[in-house]
Structure 1
């Protein structure tokens, strides 16, 4: 069974009464910490539980040390997954407003803990659900606790130290999921330093989507990502990152939807990278050939807690 699957609104609606189906509402906003809770309270897909980005899908932010959305502790995450009723054999459907960035974060966390099948992303999210004229509910989710157990797969992540050690190594390929303006350093609305990790390529996660907000067909996703993957037998490590380890998961999901291997995640991402002034930064677009020259090390900065 594929590690990542899509489900349409109509398909999900037809399965709402299915025993054991778990639905997680992953709506969030980087500008409004309570957006997900407020939106969930105003209406959600029948049976869905709220999976809050800040409280459930991220760990504690340590000022000047972590990024804005560090990974949650495995114990905390497992408790939340069990609270939501997830078992090893559960089918789990994840959704957000539409782009899929927050749903993809939940998908990756499930994969990280070992759930490699039966996880679906609602294609087009709640936007597509509304367009299909399907109803929302104010009812609470089922209260039955699950017994899913798992442990983190260390092979799915890399650290800032590991990246820093291999910046000059052509076998490292970094894929940045942020928009081109943030990658270039032309604009930085969230973090205190603009730019990107030297040598990275910009693959804006929104380009994984069609104009209606659903994912591109698998063959088009394959065309998008295949050039950055190692050829047969090549010893190349592909690593996805973004601002804080959230939208990078969208690129990882898209690669899996295309039938490509699951790449690694730099979970701390840009917001963690810039906490150490010894880590270099680059600005401007990635050259069409070769690797960007390393910029001078950053001056000391204080990264504000939160967003």
Structure 2
């Protein structure tokens, strides 16, 4: 434990003020840390809506990277395709004492971050929350309060960081298997809700459910090829788990399509296709999902014609 960590209060910057970023900024505030929420769109306050009501969260909202300095922890909560766009934020917020926790979908979360934050510790994670950004600074949390990270000293540091946050940190000895198990779900429900413009009630349709199962089985074949310890039983368990979702719940990809945002297909079905090609596995259903989502996904640009900064 460093001298900084011997004190409970840490400096934490959350990059990205979408649904995930808002929930984790709230968690860090509840844990008693100094929190900066880095956003593109300014807003007066962060409001989290839960089944218990609304909570106003007094975090510092930052829209200019010149107003930040290196912190103990960076929680990276932008979509995977926006990672390169926040390189300058990482440069401003990180030094050799910073740990970056990557709160992104997919199975290759940390790959694009190492080169953007040299000298820092980069920790991949799997996020298990269901939340929806309703407006700038306003997030509705449906359910879920946990993240998985690779077991080890960095995981233990993260457990200490999250004490009192209401969020559970779960160290995993085999994050590869956990990541592909989650991808098996996301590669099915995210594209199917986004393409049909329906929430989880779409999974009650027998034809959609059959398609979901096919997507999962393709993902399973690729997962096994890359070393994940998954079997057909995991497909059946995932299908059963889907049945526990409230029909009114949506997915991050559905919310992005409804908001006119770019879709994170490359980290989901795109990842299945990329790894399948490496191992010579045929995945026609995932390839079809990737093609359709690519056709739907707009490329967001800034007013000056440049690419989006990656922040919400």
Question: Do both share a fold (TM > 0.5)?
Answer: no
The answer to which structure has the higher helix fraction is 2
TM-score, normalised with respect to structure 2: 0.32
Q: Of Structure 1 and Structure 2, which has the larger fraction of its residues in strand?
A: 2
Q: TM-score of the superposition, structure 1-length normalised?
A: 0.33
